[in-house]
Amino acid sequence: MTRKTAPSTTAGGARIPQARPPGEAGPAHRFDLLRQMMFIRQFEDKCVELYSGGEIHGFLHVYIGEEAVAVGVNSALTPEDSIVSTYREHGHALVRGVPLDCVMAEMFGKTTGCSYGRGGSMHLFDVSRRFYGGNAIVAGGLPLAVGLALADKMRGDARVTACFFGDGAVAEGEFHECMNLAALWDLPVLFCCENNRYAMGTAIERAQAQTDLALRAESYGMPAWPVDGMDVLAVAKAARLAAESVRSGGGPHFLELKTYRFRAHSMYDPDLYRDKAEIEQWKQRDPITALAGQMRAAGELTDTDIESARDEIAAEIDASVDSARAAPAEPVDDLTRFVYSRRSS
Amino acid sequence: MTRKTAPSTTAGGARIPQARPPGEAGPAHRFDLLRQMMFIRQFEDKCVELYSGGEIHGFLHVYIGEEAVAVGVNSALTPEDSIVSTYREHGHALVRGVPLDCVMAEMFGKTTGCSYGRGGSMHLFDVSRRFYGGNAIVAGGLPLAVGLALADKMRGDARVTACFFGDGAVAEGEFHECMNLAALWDLPVLFCCENNRYAMGTAIERAQAQTDLALRAESYGMPAWPVDGMDVLAVAKAARLAAESVRSGGGPHFLELKTYRFRAHSMYDPDLYRDKAEIEQWKQRDPITALAGQMRAAGELTDTDIESARDEIAAEIDASVDSARAAPAEPVDDLTRFVYSRRSS
Amino acid sequence: MSAKTSQHPAAAATAGEPATTTYREAMRAAIREAMRRDDRVFLMGEDVGSYGGCFAVSLGLLAEFGPERIRDTPLSESAFVGAGIGAAMGGMRPIVEIMTVNFSLLALDQILNNAATLLHMSGGQVNVPLVIRMTTGAGRQVAAQHSHSLEGWYAHIPGLRLVAPATLADARGMLWTALEDPDPVLIFEHGSLYNLRGTLDEDAGAVDIDSAAVRRTGGDVTVISYGGTLGKAMTAAGELAADGIDAEVIDLRTLRPLDDATIMASVGKTHRVVIVDEGWRSGSLSAEISARIMEQAFFELDAPVRRVCSAEVPIPYPRHLEEAALPQVDGIVAAVRAVVR
Amino acid sequence: MSAKTSQHPAAAATAGEPATTTYREAMRAAIREAMRRDDRVFLMGEDVGSYGGCFAVSLGLLAEFGPERIRDTPLSESAFVGAGIGAAMGGMRPIVEIMTVNFSLLALDQILNNAATLLHMSGGQVNVPLVIRMTTGAGRQVAAQHSHSLEGWYAHIPGLRLVAPATLADARGMLWTALEDPDPVLIFEHGSLYNLRGTLDEDAGAVDIDSAAVRRTGGDVTVISYGGTLGKAMTAAGELAADGIDAEVIDLRTLRPLDDATIMASVGKTHRVVIVDEGWRSGSLSAEISARIMEQAFFELDAPVRRVCSAEVPIPYPRHLEEAALPQVDGIVAAVRAVVR
Ligand SMILES: Cc1ncc(C[n+]2csc(CCOP(=O)(O)OP(=O)(O)O)c2C)c(N)n1
Ligand SMILES: Cc1ncc(C[n+]2csc(CCOP(=O)(O)OP(=O)(O)O)c2C)c(N)n1
Ligand SMILES: [Mg+2]
Ligand SMILES: [Mg+2]
């Protein structure tokens, strides 16, 4: 088997797919992407507030700064496609269409939550929308994605399974096994590596001998491109191209989405391991301000548009908090329900 | 980090190291290599006979056809270097200098065995010769090699740890984790991948998306070369070059030793999964006949040389069988000895 | 759950059209039947295809079903077990073969944190109708890394069902029932059983996977065993009978959930118990059974429950040491004598 | 092995120059001391360096010892645990930190098939003087994949020693003794203990890792616990004392090998036992302890041994459900009342 791709390299070292998807989408589409990113951002800002206020507990990993990745990739998927994600998956769940109220209620551990309150922040599920979680073992979701794709391929369903994971996951043995298996069996998986440069406190240079992760992925003989993960349009374009190829039998593809998390790894993290200046630099590239700026410059967006979107979203989120607060907690007697399908109590 | 090597590619696709080691060794050296290969071959022929005769039990994986790999690599090591191997390790143990009597007694499970009879064929150990086994979990030895090399590096000892494993092991997650770790930490490991084209009954094409294993290894940013594993001189040369580089601080190196096993995977294997013609073709490249042929053509070797070597070896092996037969078995009361260091019974 | 009394396979079958077969062939027949009945079923694992399975269980199936459904995998235990979980979530009914329990450790994270957990953690949404088969046990002189009996560990995991067929009928019949279970089922096949020979009705088929079986009725002592040690327990019972000690032998069949009712009913009758388990004694399944008898039948006991387990050592290669390390008929007989004394 | 009676850390220390500290700081002091005393010692694991350890245990050590000896690893549990084994074979004295027991499954093959097995399998040649530390347990609402208590599994493995420091003195003192052991030692630190505050002598140092400790003497019932549940057991004992029930509380300290002598001595005195274990009940360490009491002290028992364990469910996120799933003081009190009845 030979290498299946050799993406061209631009001067700056970033390689972009050679083929171009047919004409860009218009302003309405861009506004939609913007609004989705704002939605995730505002949702998570609220979560941080609720966590500090003692209403959300356990682990909370926010996606702030990385929204362009989930929004861009999701824009390339259809409702028939599947998603497997990590513990940093609020964004993926929301853009997938898991109802806000259900996601928020899950943060509160209520029975109206998308996982019945059982999972919390790290374990959002919505099988009706083919959203398969919410996996908190690093790289633990990759084999599931491979298996979902295997089922699709064996049945002849032309689905894509989008599998999200971080740069840290690339060091795990499971990553390797899954890349090989997907490539060997030509499975319809879209691997989406969210390279935010850190695995908790460990910078990628101290974790990966080869920090060019797309190059690493390519060594399995699979098309792999680095993408500017702070630019939602770039992500959307690359994802569309990749997803179309996957869907039409092109086998697995790998996107290295170069991004950054603006906040600490989790609410427990004092964030001592990186320079404040580095964080500030990346914040200059905030995907929301970036897209908004572009759209404003193109005359597609006014301050009022933004403000009213922000207000609408805020109202929706506030309502979801109210409904989550009011929702019932699971009775303790149901604790053992769903350990097995047949022995619900 | 950038890729550390880009070996040149010859017309036939096989890539050889660009630098050449200083002048080849002479006829005495070649005869030594030949005799070592013959030694392994005759040892294992005898083991197969003893297995069929009911004197050796359990799993027996012979190395017949692959002898050039162990002999060639070992010729590049010093007694201060370390070796970690697999369940197919008779050859590595013997060339390392583990005494024949001890290896044979181990096959019989006797207390004079190199592992006190506890391990049998798959678990040969000789710590005095820095021969660290004999690991029967595929890829299970790689982390040990990485750790031995880490200890050497932390102490400043200029040792090489040679780590043998098969093509099948390359699919395991542990392979990936260890390649990355060794490259990231620049550890003095010489990875020796014995690519005999099969993992049990699974041909490499059905196990690896990328069958060019050296290319795969290179993706970790480590020098990696394919080597004709049926040519002991080629192996010796590549190993010398690689080991010298490792020893002098060049970080881990990877050799893909292209070889073939002439016999079944183990004594249990009916060998139904490959063409007899394929086996016959590879037998044409028998590393022993190949080297003997070359040496004969160069006037360095006579039939008498070969015959007397063969007879000497046979006599040694017969003697080792006698001594193994006569050696004591471990008393059952000692069963729990060495579960812990301090509670020997 | 009720106990069923049935014959040890060594005894001749009594109904239907009995045919001579082996445990291996019975297992193969079960796979073949499942593949024919349900095209969502496929077999996946290392060397299940062209090699025919490392214990030759799937020999010939590749020719019948092709490489899509008799699917050889690379040496990637975590990935292919996890892929089995994903495929089950995606609507298939995979049978994943892990060559042996020894290698299953590499997939344990997937089995525990995904297969066993997804249903509960997702609030009842994610079913994992997966069957994992693996060989367990020692006895073939394959030494320390290839001789584990770790089914007791798996029996600790909520969300899994575990079965250990010890007879031809169970080798033939448990798989289909396992495949019909909406939750993950692990099948442990003891390596020493594959060549077990006996007769099986031509129409042998699915069997329950809920209950333990009383393989021999007796009134003096209850001997509890499963999988690879059932034969030894039966042999010991035979020897004891010659001495006038009448042992009841229970084959657990299902290791999780345990069939407490069958166990306690027997204890209530015999008041004396010996548990035989090839796992290392400390923390083996035998410990849980003993603890449950303590909890549920303490006042029935006339003597403390005894355990015959493996010695707590990595299993050594030489035959005499391996034999000394494993439960043997003599040890069972001695333990029974000690409790009936 | 003999039992030692000592105070629960909640009580004030009585000797030396007592200083207020925490379990986390005691652990850190132990690592620091070991690093200073022996330059073969180094600490390796995910985020032990610049992050300071996921539970802040190693915070500050990177500055003191540098990145060679406070060694951050990639997310590669199997490789870095195996590398710790190899480094130990090569003459170093590694302390490998696995963030939590949940992730240790990814390294279990290395721990079982290499660390625990090499010495026996090599006929006594290959020592593995390795210490592995990991956090265990639930209680912080981190849900199903992050709340395991799997130390019972490790306690099944011949060749390993397991300790579970439950007090400041043990957090401070067990590490050095473990490092002096020529064989692999696993240290299980319950996540709920790191903020435990108390006093510790300035000259506190190495402690034995062989024996259980009687943390409270009493004559009516023996409560056996370890690690994260010791505090709950002590609290329960306090409540029971108010009711005139005088409980003896044993802290196992070492989970393998178990200190049977201390356990049986207490059983011989109280004749009634409750075992508290945060593991899922079936197949937890509590089962082994119950089975041993059955075997060694059956005729001493006035009532069946009871167990207070975790419910057999993946631990759910909501606080009330998590609390319901774990052993709690009320449950211990109720179990004690039931056995002394
Ligand atoms: C197997 C495993 N090891 C360790 C952890 C603890 N942990 C949780 S997230 C994380 C960092 C992962 O980094 P990355 O994959 O880059 O994803 P990110 O958090 O940056 O999105 C670690 C070490 C875990 N959950 N699973
Ligand atoms: C983790 C693991 N999985 C499966 C096995 C069973 N097994 C033993 S050797 C082998 C094939 C290994 O092939 P390769 O690495 O190419 O080495 P070779 O035998 O060809 O020398 C297999 C599958 C094992 N020992 N360990
Ligand atoms: Mg990251
Ligand atoms: Mg091979």
User: Please, are residues C293 and C273 in contact by the beta-carbon 8 Å criterion?
Assistant: yes
pLDDT given at position D55: 97
Query: Of the candidates D86, D123, D181, which has its C-beta nearest B146's C-beta?
Result: D86
Chain D residues whose CB is inside 8 A of the B1 CB are none
User: Please, are residues A151 and C84 in contact by the beta-carbon 8 Å criterion?
Assistant: no
Kindly report the nearest CA distance between residue D304 and chain C, in angstroms.
Answer: 6
Positions in chain A short of pLDDT 70: 1-24, 343-345
For residues C225 and C278, membership in a common domain is answered with yes
C194-222 b/e (C-beta count within 10 Å ≥ 16 → b) = bebebbbbeebebbebebbbbbbebebbb
For residues C251 and C319, membership in a common domain is answered with yes
Burial of B38 (0-12, 13-18, 19+ CB in 10 A): buried
pLDDT given at position D17: 76
Over residues B238-296, the pLDDT tens digits come to 999 999 999 999 999 999 999 999 999 999 999 999 999 999 999 999 999 999 999 99
Contact C321 B330 (CB under 8 A): yes
Domain annotation covers residue D20: yes
Kindly report the nearest CA distance between residue D298 and chain A, in angstroms.
Answer: 33
For residues C56 and C184, membership in a common domain is answered with yes
For residues D170 and D249, membership in a common domain is answered with no
Q: Is D25 a catalytic residue?
A: no
Domain annotation covers residue C207: no
Q: Name the percent of chain D lying above pLDDT 90.
A: 94
The beta strand positions in chain C, using DSSP E, are: 4-5, 18-22, 41-45, 70-72, 93-100, 131-136, 161-163, 185-190, 197-201, 213-216, 221-225, 247-251, 254-256, 273-280, 306-310
C278-290 b/e (C-beta count within 10 Å ≥ 16 → b) = bbbbbbbbbbbbb
Partner C contacted by D76 (CB < 8 A): no
Domain annotation covers residue C31: yes
The alpha carbon of D77 and the centre of ligand 2 are apart by a number of angstroms equal to 21
Domain annotation covers residue C51: yes
Contact B220 A205 (CB under 8 A): no
Q: Please state at what angle helix B142-155 crosses helix B173-184, rounded to 10 degrees.
A: 10
User: Is the domain covering B27-326 a CATH 3.40.50.970 domain?
Assistant: yes
Question: Which residues does a 6 A CB cutoff place in the pocket of ligand 2?
Answer: B 88, 136-138, 166-169, 194, 196, 198-200, 265; C 46, 75, 99, 103, 106
Q: Please state at what angle helix A232-245 crosses helix A27-52, rounded to 10 degrees.
A: 110
Contact C286 D286 (CB under 8 A): no
Q: Is D190 a catalytic residue?
A: no
Partner C contacted by A221 (CB < 8 A): no
Q: Whose CA is nearest to atom 17 of ligand 1?
A: A166
pLDDT band at residue C15 under the 50/70/90 scheme: low
Chain C residues whose CB is inside 8 A of the D260 CB are none
pLDDT given at position A19: 36
For residues D190 and D291, membership in a common domain is answered with no
**Three-state SS string across chain D, please?**
CCCEECCCCCCCCCCCCEEEEEHHHHHHHHHHHHHHHCCCEEEEECCCCCCCCCCCCCCCHHHHHHHHHEEECCCCHHHHHHHHHHHHHCCCEEEEEEEEHHHHHHHHHHHHHHHCCHHHHCCCCCCCCCEEEEEECCCCCCCCCCCCCCHHHHCCCCCCEEECCCCHHHHHHHHHHHHHCCCCEEEEEEHHHCCCEEEEECCCCCCCCCCCEEEECCCCEEEEECHHHHHHHHHHHHHHHHCCCCEEEEECCEEECCCHHHHHHHHHHHCCEEEEEEEECCCCHHHHHHHHHHHHHHHHCCCCCEEEEECCCCCCCCHHHHHHHCCCHHHHHHHHHHHHC
Domain annotation covers residue D276: yes
**Residues, beta carbon < 5 Å, ion ligand 3:** A 166-168, 196, 199
Listed residue (B140, B188, B181, B180) closest to B162, CA to CA:
B188
Task: Check pLDDT > 90 for residue D6.
Answer: no
The alpha carbon of B171 and the centre of ligand 2 are apart by a number of angstroms equal to 10
The residue out of C201, C223, C245 marking a domain boundary is C201
Q: Whose CA is nearest to atom 21 of ligand 2?
A: B166
| Over residues D39-59, mean pLDDT | 98
pLDDT given at position D244: 98
What is the rounded CA–CA span in Å between residue C299 and residue A2? Answer: 71
Over residues D197-244, the pLDDT tens digits come to 999 998 899 999 999 999 999 999 999 999 999 999 999 999 999 999
Sign of CA dihedral D19, D22, D23, D27: negative
Whole-model pTM: value is: 0.95
For residues D180 and D223, membership in a common domain is answered with no
Chain A residues whose CB is inside 8 A of the D313 CB are 335-336, 339
Chain B residues whose CB is inside 8 A of the A207 CB are 184
For residues D240 and D187, membership in a common domain is answered with no
For residues C136 and C178, membership in a common domain is answered with yes
Angle at C94 between CA C90 and CA C96, to 5 degrees: 130
What range defines the domain where residue D324 resides? 213-340
pLDDT given at position A25: 73
pLDDT band at residue D16 under the 50/70/90 scheme: low
**Smallest-distance ligand from the CA of A196:** 3
Residue to mutate, D48, D50, D75, D81, ligand 1, most ligand atoms under 8 Å from C-beta: D75
User: Please, are residues C276 and C332 in contact by the beta-carbon 8 Å criterion?
Assistant: yes
pLDDT given at position A277: 98
pLDDT band at residue B342 under the 50/70/90 scheme: confident
Locate the chain A residue with the closest alpha carbon to C39.
A155
Domain annotation covers residue C4: no
pLDDT given at position C242: 97
User: Please, are residues C32 and C61 in contact by the beta-carbon 8 Å criterion?
Assistant: yes
Q: The CATH number of the domain where C236 resides is what?
A: 3.40.50.920
For residues C98 and C244, membership in a common domain is answered with no
The residue out of C171, C201, C231 marking a domain boundary is C201
Angle at A198 between CA A123 and CA D135, to 5 degrees: 60
pLDDT given at position B343: 63
For residues C107 and C234, membership in a common domain is answered with no
Listed residue (A97, A89, A196, A81) closest to A145, CA to CA:
A81
Domain annotation covers residue D250: yes
From chain A residues 94-113, the ones with a CB under 8 A of any chain C CB are 113
Q: ipTM score here?
A: 0.95
Task: Check pLDDT > 80 for residue D5.
Answer: no
Q: How many CA atoms lie within 13 A of A167 on its CB side?
A: 28
Over residues D123-173, the pLDDT tens digits come to 999 999 999 999 999 999 999 999 999 999 999 999 999 999 999 999 999
Q: How many CA atoms lie within 13 A of A220 on its CB side?
A: 29
Q: Which residues pair with A254 in a beta bridge?
A: A191, A224
Partner C contacted by D145 (CB < 8 A): yes
| Over residues D18-22, mean pLDDT | 92
User: Please, are residues D197 and D25 in contact by the beta-carbon 8 Å criterion?
Assistant: no
Partner A contacted by C88 (CB < 8 A): yes
Domain annotation covers residue D206: no
Mutation to test the C interface, candidates B111, B124, B137, B265, most C Cβ within 10 Å = B137
Tokens linked to B188: 């003095």
Task: Report CA dihedral (B115, B119, B125, B126) to the nearest 10 degrees.
Answer: 10
Helix (H) or strand (E) run with residue C174 in it = helix C168-180
For residues D188 and D44, membership in a common domain is answered with yes
The SS3 of residue B262 is coil
Number of domains in chain C: 2
Partner C contacted by A165 (CB < 8 A): no
Over residues B39-64, the pLDDT tens digits come to 999 999 999 999 999 999 999 999 99
Locate the chain C residue with the closest alpha carbon to A84.
C86
**Smallest-distance ligand from the CA of B66:** 2
Locate the chain D residue with the closest alpha carbon to A168.
D75
Q: Which atom of ligand 1 is nearest to the CA of D46?
A: 23
For residues D269 and D298, membership in a common domain is answered with yes
Question: Which residues does a 6 A CB cutoff place in the pocket of ligand 1?
Answer: A 88, 136-138, 166-169, 194, 196, 198-200, 265; D 46, 75, 99, 103, 106
Partner A contacted by C67 (CB < 8 A): no
The residue out of D162, D177, D201 marking a domain boundary is D201
Locate the chain A residue with the closest alpha carbon to C81.
A143
pLDDT given at position A343: 63
- In angstroms, the Cα distances linking C262 to B171, C215, C258, C268 are 45, 12, 9, 10
The alpha carbon of B169 and the centre of ligand 2 are apart by a number of angstroms equal to 7
Task: Check pLDDT > 90 for residue B236.
Answer: yes
Over residues C21-30, the pLDDT tens digits come to 999 999 999 9
Which residue among the candidates C25, C33, C46, C77 is catalytic per the annotation?
Answer: C77
The size of chain D, in residues, is: 341
Over residues B169-217, the pLDDT tens digits come to 999 999 999 999 999 999 999 999 999 999 999 999 999 999 999 999 9
Tokens linked to B84: 């970690």
pLDDT given at position D18: 83
